[in-house]
Amino acid sequence: MSGHFKNLLDTIGLPPGTLVHVGDKKLEKSLITIFDYDVDNFSEHTAETIEESFSFRDKPSITWINIDGIQETEVIQKVQSHFHIHPLVVEDITNTQQRPKMEDYGDYMYFVLKMLYIDSDTGGIESEQVSLILGSNYVISFQETVGDIFDPIRDRIRNFKGRVRKTGADYLAYCLIDAVIDNYFVMLELLDQQIEKLEDDLIMNPRQELYEEVHQLKRDMIFIRRQIWPLRELISGLQRTESPLIKPETHVYLRDAYDHAIQVIDTIESFRDILGGLHDVYFTSISNKLNEVMKVLTVISTIFMPLTFIVGVYGMNFKHMPELEWWFAYPALWMIMIAITISMVAFFKSRKWI
Amino acid sequence: MSGHFKNLLDTIGLPPGTLVHVGDKKLEKSLITIFDYDVDNFSEHTAETIEESFSFRDKPSITWINIDGIQETEVIQKVQSHFHIHPLVVEDITNTQQRPKMEDYGDYMYFVLKMLYIDSDTGGIESEQVSLILGSNYVISFQETVGDIFDPIRDRIRNFKGRVRKTGADYLAYCLIDAVIDNYFVMLELLDQQIEKLEDDLIMNPRQELYEEVHQLKRDMIFIRRQIWPLRELISGLQRTESPLIKPETHVYLRDAYDHAIQVIDTIESFRDILGGLHDVYFTSISNKLNEVMKVLTVISTIFMPLTFIVGVYGMNFKHMPELEWWFAYPALWMIMIAITISMVAFFKSRKWI
Amino acid sequence: MSGHFKNLLDTIGLPPGTLVHVGDKKLEKSLITIFDYDVDNFSEHTAETIEESFSFRDKPSITWINIDGIQETEVIQKVQSHFHIHPLVVEDITNTQQRPKMEDYGDYMYFVLKMLYIDSDTGGIESEQVSLILGSNYVISFQETVGDIFDPIRDRIRNFKGRVRKTGADYLAYCLIDAVIDNYFVMLELLDQQIEKLEDDLIMNPRQELYEEVHQLKRDMIFIRRQIWPLRELISGLQRTESPLIKPETHVYLRDAYDHAIQVIDTIESFRDILGGLHDVYFTSISNKLNEVMKVLTVISTIFMPLTFIVGVYGMNFKHMPELEWWFAYPALWMIMIAITISMVAFFKSRKWI
Amino acid sequence: MSGHFKNLLDTIGLPPGTLVHVGDKKLEKSLITIFDYDVDNFSEHTAETIEESFSFRDKPSITWINIDGIQETEVIQKVQSHFHIHPLVVEDITNTQQRPKMEDYGDYMYFVLKMLYIDSDTGGIESEQVSLILGSNYVISFQETVGDIFDPIRDRIRNFKGRVRKTGADYLAYCLIDAVIDNYFVMLELLDQQIEKLEDDLIMNPRQELYEEVHQLKRDMIFIRRQIWPLRELISGLQRTESPLIKPETHVYLRDAYDHAIQVIDTIESFRDILGGLHDVYFTSISNKLNEVMKVLTVISTIFMPLTFIVGVYGMNFKHMPELEWWFAYPALWMIMIAITISMVAFFKSRKWI
Amino acid sequence: MSGHFKNLLDTIGLPPGTLVHVGDKKLEKSLITIFDYDVDNFSEHTAETIEESFSFRDKPSITWINIDGIQETEVIQKVQSHFHIHPLVVEDITNTQQRPKMEDYGDYMYFVLKMLYIDSDTGGIESEQVSLILGSNYVISFQETVGDIFDPIRDRIRNFKGRVRKTGADYLAYCLIDAVIDNYFVMLELLDQQIEKLEDDLIMNPRQELYEEVHQLKRDMIFIRRQIWPLRELISGLQRTESPLIKPETHVYLRDAYDHAIQVIDTIESFRDILGGLHDVYFTSISNKLNEVMKVLTVISTIFMPLTFIVGVYGMNFKHMPELEWWFAYPALWMIMIAITISMVAFFKSRKWI
């Protein structure tokens, strides 16, 4: 997983605002889809070039430009110059190592979000950056790859479901942010199942491999936490903003998104606590196993060492050992040895060692 | 307990405000009871349909509509449209995965609370969501199942006990919140007894099963904490609110509720600390046991290994071993071996090993 | 110690403000003492009935009514109605499960404090609730039992020592609060001695029983902390209050009380840290002991196992074993075995095992 | 590494503002380079004496004076008197034990930054102090040695890349601060690789030497954290400053630098968490190894102790032992011993010990 | 070290403001030295009685009265009445159990500081209280014993070094505070060396005695931290104060003192972290040692137990054991036993146990 930082260095030394795509180049060519709607009308189409979207900027209807793939820097550069975006914003869009944040540039607001999913191949947590630009009547969203988490929103726009068609661009932006947060719950539930399974396994049959899974999950939590923690600040800042871009009636929805974000963070903290407890369970368990093993060893040694000594005594070759001549010596010795064994066993039973 | 998150996903992708009951469908049909009272009059009846309650809205008396069972979404939808409730509130009422919170919608306030109880079958902690809507002259409460924690308040209204009949809807809402908090103390006392018993058992007779109980209690604490922690914020927000729905004379009662909430949170934190200390006690105890076992093994080995060696020496078949011929050799050897044993035992006694 | 919560439940379901004595009924009959003084005059007497104190309310002199024993609820009820105290205050006075707090009711202020002492019988930490009501020219104090911690203040009033006779009721209240805080230092010093002794014992001779004492002290700290921590907030709130009951010249004394409270809290935190360190010391120590034991076992085994093997070899009954015939074989074997033993011992000495 | 504090004492007892170079004297002679530029012109030269730079102070163009080597105190003293710098600033420049900080002196601002790099010889983390003085049209930077981290900025100035030539001294100062922060990412990536490698090694083959590396990395983190943590406060203070030296359009860049600083701090915290988890992994692993070893010992003992006892029995020299005469006794005993061994092995297999 | 609290109780029950010297009575007779200076003049003398200093109060020059030894309560009482000091201040001066703090009494400010030094006899950390009273043109300092940490300041006043002669009493007070802080660095460097040495020793040769030193250092850190932590608040309060006693130009020096205080606190926190890490290093190390010991035991047992069994077999006295007759049996058995030993050793080598 050395990759979490491996792209950080690519922009060092470049002047701020330089446009270099930093991240795994996931899509060769950007895919641009445009939704344009108001309460009465609705149009949707996939654009060949970014220029097709520019005509929508000055129309009063709400326009959502979704750009999947951020390695085509000329597309983003054109967006920048046409929508008068600050160079630093564009740098942040193309550098996928950002923390979630909100920045208010007056005419528009800029959001960085992190989508998290579990890679089905490796089982590891992967992160994808989603950038949003919210203008007075448009939203531009940037994703690293073609994703489906915004599909329900597309569906609502198309089919006039919910409030989205009746409200402004700020509500659309809220919907997109909320879709990202909702997506965390999918991941959290998978992690929850994984942790529960691990917990059961670890209590039933503690093994170092399982513990290494605990460690891996702890690392995942550290990673997830770093991606999600700033979200709290982002949405709370959004609630307190005085930007005219956010209409008063949207605030109640932001409060709802804030609640969801808190719930996600709470859950991650709980997972961390539970994983910490698993360490203790595992560790006491291997210590107990050691005790078990040592008891077996001690019981065996304590029974056989005296017996071996006794038979050793009568294996000596002294001339003058009267017992050796007695006809009842051998069976009597067996009696004695059986008595010793029984009393030893009784002693260990009383101590609950066996 | 994988269920804590299993319903989170059901509303993903739906537009905000969509009414889907999320949670275990505990009651097929909602049970609606209506209390209507002022200082002079009092009426109580169970409504067949929710519409029966609507006439009370515009009367000056205080009306308490209690709805047990939240899976009949049409009931809640009718409440919504008649009392002009925001769609998000209704979504929160039917989704029982909320955190405790307070939201001020101007005309009315909305509260989410969590009732906690110990399931008598499984011994696990269960949580039930209680929602309150406080209007100028009405309170609507929603519970997942038919419960009895509000019975004392019903009793007070019926019998003109306490201040409830003399005051407004805000005081009634306070009473309901306080009843929920009071209920936590029942659970805390049960947990306190459980922890004390576990503590005594663990000190007297440390076993891994007991430790797994400690772990389970820690998990329970994580769960309880997440349910109760936001309560502090809720009531503190309620104290600072400038909503005209909360009359000044109610503030002193809210302060009291706040004190109780803090006391609950303090107690949970103490439990967490105590359970953490139990880990240490248990762990030092199994380490000590290991020491005990090893001392027994070492004592036995140290006594019998030299003796076995000695008898082995005189079991050798060398032609020329003068000792074998001596008539006193055998009893002398016994003397020597007894002396060795006694000095070993004395040595271990001096080291306090036996 | 299951008792810390056992009285919590007694008031559940009662309307707020209901007067039920909650706590161990320590005194059957309340003991009422009245001090009335100003700079020139002073009177002191023990009242038979609470009514005797009522005449003082409207006199300009300062009146201190001390009530030891809070189970006579009619006494407290009379105080309530005569001094116009809020029902919730009275509920808090009789319910000894409160956290320390300050409440400003305009005409009067209400304080809950916790006196802590070490029970001389059980050695456990016990807590007693002290309630204060500060009016413009009177202070009413409530204690659970007859105590002596206010004796120095009585003495100062009687003998015109210090400033107390020259100042108002707020200064008297300060003196009472300060007496409670001063009393914590007595307990802290006892605990300090206990911890130091435990620390020395644990380093000299680590035993599980001592560790259980550490655990018990940790529990005590959790309990004490919960009792004292809110004091900080209480006094700090008192310093910031704008109530006319607190005269400006008293603020410098409150600052002093605040310093003392912080010092108490600091000390408790230090104790917690030290007790945490004792766990580590104890645990490394038992691990070291295990190492010692194992080294003894290993040394013994490593010396005697090869020797026992060698003598076993010459105990075999093969017809053709030339060594058995050699006249020098037996003494030579002794030489060899002694050489093996010496070199083993030298090896273990070099490894510092013995 | 005792050196982290070894220079702290050199200035004790001197009046504040005394100029004594504290730190390892890394450069005998200061190296002074001057960049002077505006949007149209640009000049660059290396000055022999510091006086050469003074003429630039009153020119309207932007002047960047970089001084590598701070042990030539007369150079710094001349800068102080010519640019009217406060004596405390100069003391801080020459004392390389400062924490990162920002100080606003009205006419100029003073910054202390810490450059961190991994010493290629020892592998340890080294720290170098960078001081900046930002005036209205000049920036003076002080480094302990000749470094190359500002080279990209020099390059941008020379080649008119980015915004630096078009803006003021505050943007230049931002660029220098950002260069220092960017440099942390280089170090973080190296540490990341080191931690990942250590993690893999520790899971594959846990050894105490590796653990000591973990400890060393933890110490490094403590050191790095202390150097970088104050940066957050520095930049956040810079964002909130009302100094006219910072132009409004620079604030968006400061916000970007703030994001980077937070990211650095987040990463360090993650590293600390991961290293803490490695302790747990290592420790459970050595405990498991102990269990493995003990199982081997117990299996061997449990198999051979009974067998040795049995053969000891028939080594006894009793006259009357009927078994010794039986012709089938010897092979039968072998059968019995083999059966015992097989059943023991089966028993241990069933317990998964072998 | 039971002494940290042993004087706390001496003032309990006394009215606030009572003058009782609390602490070890270190000096029988107070030593009073007076410095009086302005930019032109300077006089210094040792006063026999405190009255000699009173004439300076009303002179415009700056007067520094240093009083070493605080057990002569009449001296302090005279200071109190002459300089109109609040009784509580005097109580705090004589009670050496104060926390560092700043109190603004309008006409004068009062500071409590803690000097810390390592007792050369016991190696323990000792604390001495320094009190400062800052008036408009005088500073009165109180020390428990005759100390030398203010000597550099005396020297600067005598020899007109630095700014002290040119500025007011507030700068002098700053110098005294800074001298106390500077002194912490001496102690920190000694502790740093001690910790580094301990760390090296513990890694090279872990022993319980060393670990007890770690524990002692942790205790020292708890003690030091409690003494120094409030300093941050003190100086930060001083920076924000609006008292006319602190002139604006002194603020830049206070900022410097604040930086130093933070640096001291940071260093202590680092020490705490490092000492915590040492526990982990020590503990993994003794666990590893145990593993080593157990491997030796297991190797020895695994080699010699089978061999001893084999020779036991041929020590049996059965009549019918054909092997005993074979002439090659004995050397063949040796071959077999050597082969077993070699393969065992190879097996353990492959497992890296030897």
pLDDT tens for residues C39-86? 888 899 898 888 888 888 788 899 999 999 888 888 888 999 899 999
C157-171, D8-22, E99-113: least confident range: D8-22
Say yes or no: ipTM exceeds 0.85: no
Distances in Å between the Cα of B276 and the Cα atoms of B194, B270, C161 are 15, 10, 49
Mean pLDDT computed over B83-104: 89
For residue D213 the two structure tokens come to 């590396």
The answer to whether the Cβ–Cβ distance between A152 and B330 falls below 8 Å is: no
Residue E211 vs residue A124, higher pLDDT: E211
Mean pLDDT rounded to a whole number for chain B: 87
Whether E98 and chain D come into contact, CB under 8 Å, resolves to no
The residues, any chain, with a CB within 8 Å of residue B353's CB and separated by 6 or more, are B295, B298, B299, C293
Mean pLDDT rounded to a whole number for chain A: 87
The residues, any chain, with a CB within 8 Å of residue A334's CB and separated by 6 or more, are none
The answer to whether the Cβ–Cβ distance between B97 and A263 falls below 8 Å is: yes
Within 8 A of B259 by CB-CB distance, chain C residues are 98-99, 101
Q: For position B264, what pLDDT does the model report?
A: 92
Asked if residue C287 has pLDDT above 50, the reply is yes
Residue tagged 């005194």 (tokens): C27
Asked if residue E92 has pLDDT above 80, the reply is yes
Q: For position E2, what pLDDT does the model report?
A: 39
Q: For position E52, what pLDDT does the model report?
A: 84
Asked if residue D63 has pLDDT above 80, the reply is yes
Facing residue for B306 by CB, picked from C6, C304, C312: C304
Residue tagged 């803690």 (tokens): E114
Interface probe, candidates D313, D314, D354, chain A, greatest A C-beta count within 10 A: D313
**How far apart are the C-alpha atoms of B245 and B105, rounded to whole Å?**
11
Q: Indicate if the alpha-carbon torsion angle D13, D17, D18, D24 is positive or negative.
A: positive
SS (HEC) of D77-128: HHHHHHHCCCHHHHHHHHECCCCCEEEECCCCEEEEEEEEEECCCCCCEEEE
Q: What phi, psi does B260 have (nearest 5°)?
A: -65, -40
The SS3 of residue E119 is coil
The residues, any chain, with a CB within 8 Å of residue E303's CB and separated by 6 or more, are E341, E344, E345
Residue tagged 């093996």 (tokens): C340
Nearest to A112 by CA among A231, A7, A250: A231
Compute how many other C-beta atoms are within 10 angstroms of the C-beta atom of residue A229: 17
Residues 236-255 of B with CB under 8 A from C: 252-253, 255
Q: For position E186, what pLDDT does the model report?
A: 87
Q: For position A204, what pLDDT does the model report?
A: 85
The answer to whether the Cβ–Cβ distance between A16 and D256 falls below 8 Å is: yes
Using a 10 angstrom Cβ sphere, with 0-12 exposed, 13-18 middle and 19 or more buried, the burial of residue B156 is buried
Nearest to C127 by CA among C220, C195, C257: C220
Within 8 A of E289 by CB-CB distance, chain C residues are 291
- For residue A315, the chain B residue with the least C-alpha distance is B315
Asked if residue C3 has pLDDT above 50, the reply is no
What end-to-end distance do the CA atoms of chain E give, in Å?
47
Whether B317 and chain C come into contact, CB under 8 Å, resolves to yes
Q: How far is A16 from chain D (nearest CA, A)?
A: 7
Within 8 A of A301 by CB-CB distance, chain D residues are 301, 305
pTM of the model: 0.85
Facing residue for E286 by CB, picked from C186, C273, C288: C288
Compute how many other C-beta atoms are within 10 angstroms of the C-beta atom of residue E125: 21
Compute how many other C-beta atoms are within 10 angstroms of the C-beta atom of residue B34: 20
**How far apart are the C-alpha atoms of B212 and B178, rounded to whole Å?**
34
**How far apart are the C-alpha atoms of A293 and B294, rounded to whole Å?**
11
The answer to whether the Cβ–Cβ distance between D2 and E192 falls below 8 Å is: yes
Q: For position E3, what pLDDT does the model report?
A: 41
What end-to-end distance do the CA atoms of chain C give, in Å?
47
Q: For position E294, what pLDDT does the model report?
A: 92
The SS3 of residue A313 is helix
Report, in this order, helix, strand and coil percent for chain D, each rounded to 5: 60, 15, 25
Using a 10 angstrom Cβ sphere, with 0-12 exposed, 13-18 middle and 19 or more buried, the burial of residue D304 is buried
Q: For position E6, what pLDDT does the model report?
A: 45
The answer to whether the Cβ–Cβ distance between D311 and E306 falls below 8 Å is: no
Per-residue pLDDT tens digits for D291-343? 999 999 999 999 999 999 999 999 999 988 888 989 899 999 999 999 999 99
- For residue C306, the chain B residue with the least C-alpha distance is B309
For residue E333 the two structure tokens come to 């058995």
Per-residue pLDDT tens digits for A337-346? 999 999 999 9
Q: For position B117, what pLDDT does the model report?
A: 85
For residue A265 the two structure tokens come to 């963070």
Q: For position D12, what pLDDT does the model report?
A: 62
Asked if residue B130 has pLDDT above 90, the reply is yes
- Tell me the CB-side half-sphere exposure of residue C317, using CA atoms within 13 A: 23
Specify whether the CB–CB gap between C76 and C97 falls below 8 A: no
Report, in this order, helix, strand and coil percent for chain C, each rounded to 5: 60, 15, 25
Within 8 A of C222 by CB-CB distance, chain B residues are 270, 273-274
**How far apart are the C-alpha atoms of E151 and D13, rounded to whole Å?**
8
- Tell me the CB-side half-sphere exposure of residue D205, using CA atoms within 13 A: 5
Q: Count of A–B CB contacts within 8 Å?
A: 163
DSSP C97: T
Using a 10 angstrom Cβ sphere, with 0-12 exposed, 13-18 middle and 19 or more buried, the burial of residue E49 is exposed
Residue E155 vs residue C8, higher pLDDT: E155
The answer to whether the Cβ–Cβ distance between A305 and D305 falls below 8 Å is: yes
Confidence of residue D1 (pLDDT cuts 50, 70, 90): very low
Mean pLDDT rounded to a whole number for chain C: 87
Nearest to C30 by CA among C146, C126, C114, C137: C146
DSSP symbols for B280-292:
HHHHHHHHHHHHH
For residue D318 the two structure tokens come to 């009793």
**How far apart are the C-alpha atoms of E181 and E231, rounded to whole Å?**
9
The residues, any chain, with a CB within 8 Å of residue C341's CB and separated by 6 or more, are C303, C307
Q: What phi, psi does D85 have (nearest 5°)?
A: -90, 145
A179-183, C165-169, E54-58: least confident range: E54-58
H or E stretch at A112: strand A109-118
Per-residue pLDDT tens digits for B105-129? 989 999 999 999 888 777 788 889 9
Mean pLDDT computed over A56-75: 87
The answer to whether the Cβ–Cβ distance between E162 and D293 falls below 8 Å is: no
Quick one: what percent of chain B has pLDDT higher than 90? 45
Most confident of A11-15, B21-25, B162-166: B162-166
Facing residue for C279 by CB, picked from B273, B280, B308: B280
Residues 187-246 of E with CB under 8 A from C: 208, 211-212, 215, 218-219, 222-223, 226
Mean pLDDT computed over B23-48: 83
Per-residue pLDDT tens digits for A132-150? 999 999 999 999 888 788 9
**How far apart are the C-alpha atoms of E332 and E10, rounded to whole Å?**
88
For residue B27 the two structure tokens come to 């009651």
Interface probe, candidates A101, A311, A334, A340, chain D, greatest D C-beta count within 10 A: A311
Q: For position E131, what pLDDT does the model report?
A: 94
Within 8 A of D299 by CB-CB distance, chain E residues are none
- For residue B328, the chain A residue with the least C-alpha distance is A320
Mean pLDDT computed over D153-164: 87
Compute how many other C-beta atoms are within 10 angstroms of the C-beta atom of residue E263: 21
- Tell me the CB-side half-sphere exposure of residue E303, using CA atoms within 13 A: 23
Nearest to B149 by CA among B172, B171, B181: B181
Asked if residue A195 has pLDDT above 90, the reply is yes
**How far apart are the C-alpha atoms of B201 and B195, rounded to whole Å?**
10
The residues, any chain, with a CB within 8 Å of residue A118's CB and separated by 6 or more, are A124, A125, A126, A187, A190, A191
**How far apart are the C-alpha atoms of A90 and B197, rounded to whole Å?**
62
Within 8 A of C316 by CB-CB distance, chain B residues are 317
For residue E244 the two structure tokens come to 């006319």
Whether E295 and chain C come into contact, CB under 8 Å, resolves to no
- For residue C218, the chain B residue with the least C-alpha distance is B277
Q: For position B74, what pLDDT does the model report?
A: 86
Within 8 A of A222 by CB-CB distance, chain D residues are 270, 273-274
Per-residue pLDDT tens digits for E10-52? 556 666 666 666 665 566 788 899 999 988 888 998 988 888 8
Q: For position B22, what pLDDT does the model report?
A: 62
Specify whether the CB–CB gap between A18 and A28 falls below 8 A: no
Q: What phi, psi does A58 have (nearest 5°)?
A: -95, 5
Within 8 A of D3 by CB-CB distance, chain E residues are none
Q: For position B249, what pLDDT does the model report?
A: 87
Compute how many other C-beta atoms are within 10 angstroms of the C-beta atom of residue A120: 7
Using a 10 angstrom Cβ sphere, with 0-12 exposed, 13-18 middle and 19 or more buried, the burial of residue C18 is middle
Q: For position A24, what pLDDT does the model report?
A: 59
- For residue C287, the chain B residue with the least C-alpha distance is B287
The SS3 of residue A180 is helix
H or E stretch at A11: none
Pairing of strands D62-68, D138-143: parallel
The residues, any chain, with a CB within 8 Å of residue A205's CB and separated by 6 or more, are none
Radius of gyration of chain D (CA): 35
- Tell me the CB-side half-sphere exposure of residue C36, using CA atoms within 13 A: 15
Q: How far is B186 from chain C (nearest CA, A)?
A: 7
Within 8 A of B219 by CB-CB distance, chain A residues are 274, 277
**How far apart are the C-alpha atoms of B226 and B99, rounded to whole Å?**
8
Q: For position B169, what pLDDT does the model report?
A: 92
Pairing of strands D109-118, D125-134: antiparallel
